[in-house]
Structure 1
């Protein structure tokens, strides 16, 4: 379930282009370093709160109770739905679909949990759904340890997830606060959607 706060509350309005099956980002030319907090800002909700390098709210996920079991909505800072992640029904294995906005048809990307026992590093496979070509991605590493990466077809890491460094006083954040580093080739909303799927899977 999504929550739409008063639009006047967040002062920041970031351009969030629709994700492209080519992995484009609508003109972003630099690496995005995001801080992901595995917690909703709303009381009695689970979810995610994501900040940019300046500490401004970029993404949010707010789930009530068991509503996140089959559907999760990624929103921008103002509560506008960017992507909806849904578990694919009647499918073998753990399989999720990523839709633009709140659409229920024509998914843009498919994420399947990896089941090959001979490659213990592989977590999931991400593929475009449109049938018009596009980029496939492989996720490897350990999400539970917040140490994993998303690789493109040329084996270039386009997304990295790693733990946030301890504070100057030595306070560690654990696994609920971590870094999400996204290369310019990939849309940040898609990168965060992949993180959400990994959280559901693992």
Structure 2
């Protein structure tokens, strides 16, 4: 469980609530090169959307609010021109809105090791050096149906992959439990990155 009542705001304070929040994320493959994520609360209200191409030279996704305004942009580092073959050293940079200034981002996500079967992503806030332990860590993997987001030894969010026959058709569903005062837009971004890394 999350530690104390300290607010963990990464994308923005408006995405932190003082109670445990349960979300449903529905992912749909719209075409061979495009997929879409919708994020709902338990009453069916849409809270966030994430769009973007799966296969292109600019591997990036844009998260928007229900009105369509950009919240953050998720971009895989090193893409945009001819990129080197996909390797285990995947790294994503997350920018506020649609700003893609390479020196200005909210956080970055890097795969911990190429020799783990699980995802094990390290998350670094801001532009600080990527040496040592990250500020957060994602453990587990989508294929094992469960991932956890940790800050130190504390779990701040959990994701369950609801795998069904529809998954073979490109329709997938996830349930997220976000602990109190934890930025749920940040957690959704980590889910999307984990899923993207596992489905290259």
Aligned residues between the structures: 173
Shift in alpha-carbon separation, 1:41–1:56, aligned structure 2, 3 A:
farther
Which residue is equivalent to 1:48? 37
Mapped pair 1:129 → 2:129: no
- State the TM-score, normalized to the length of structure 2: 0.73
Deviation string, structure 1 residues 74-99 (Cα, Å, up to 9, x no partner): 11111111110011118981000011
Residue 157 (structure 1) aligned to one of 155, 158, 167: 155
Mapped pair 1:145 → 2:144: yes
Unaligned runs of 5+ in 2: 1-7
SS in 2 for 1:29: coil
**As a proportion of its length, which structure holds more helix?**
2
Which residue is equivalent to 2:180? 184
Does the Cα contact within 8 Å between 2:17 and 2:182 map onto a contact in 1? no
Unaligned runs of 5+ in 1: 1-18, 166-170
SS in 2 for 1:51: strand
Shift of 1:45: 4.6
Which residue is equivalent to 1:86? 75
Residue 34 (structure 1) aligned to one of 18, 23, 32: 23
Shift in alpha-carbon separation, 1:185–1:127, aligned structure 2, 3 A:
farther
Distance 2:69 2:176 in 1: 21
Shift of 1:144: 2.2
Residue 60 (structure 1) aligned to one of 49, 60, 72: 49
SS in 2 for 1:54: coil
Shift in alpha-carbon separation, 1:141–1:68, aligned structure 2, 3 A:
farther
Structure having greater relative contact order (Cα 8 Å, sep ≥ 6): 2
Shift of 1:137: 0.7
Distance 1:66 1:198 in 2: 16
Distance 1:79 1:156 in 2: 33
Which residue is equivalent to 1:25? 13
Distance 1:195 1:59 in 2: 13
Shift of 1:122: 5.1
Distance 1:113 1:83 in 2: 20
- State the TM-score, normalized to the length of structure 1: 0.72
Distance 1:68 1:31 in 2: 38
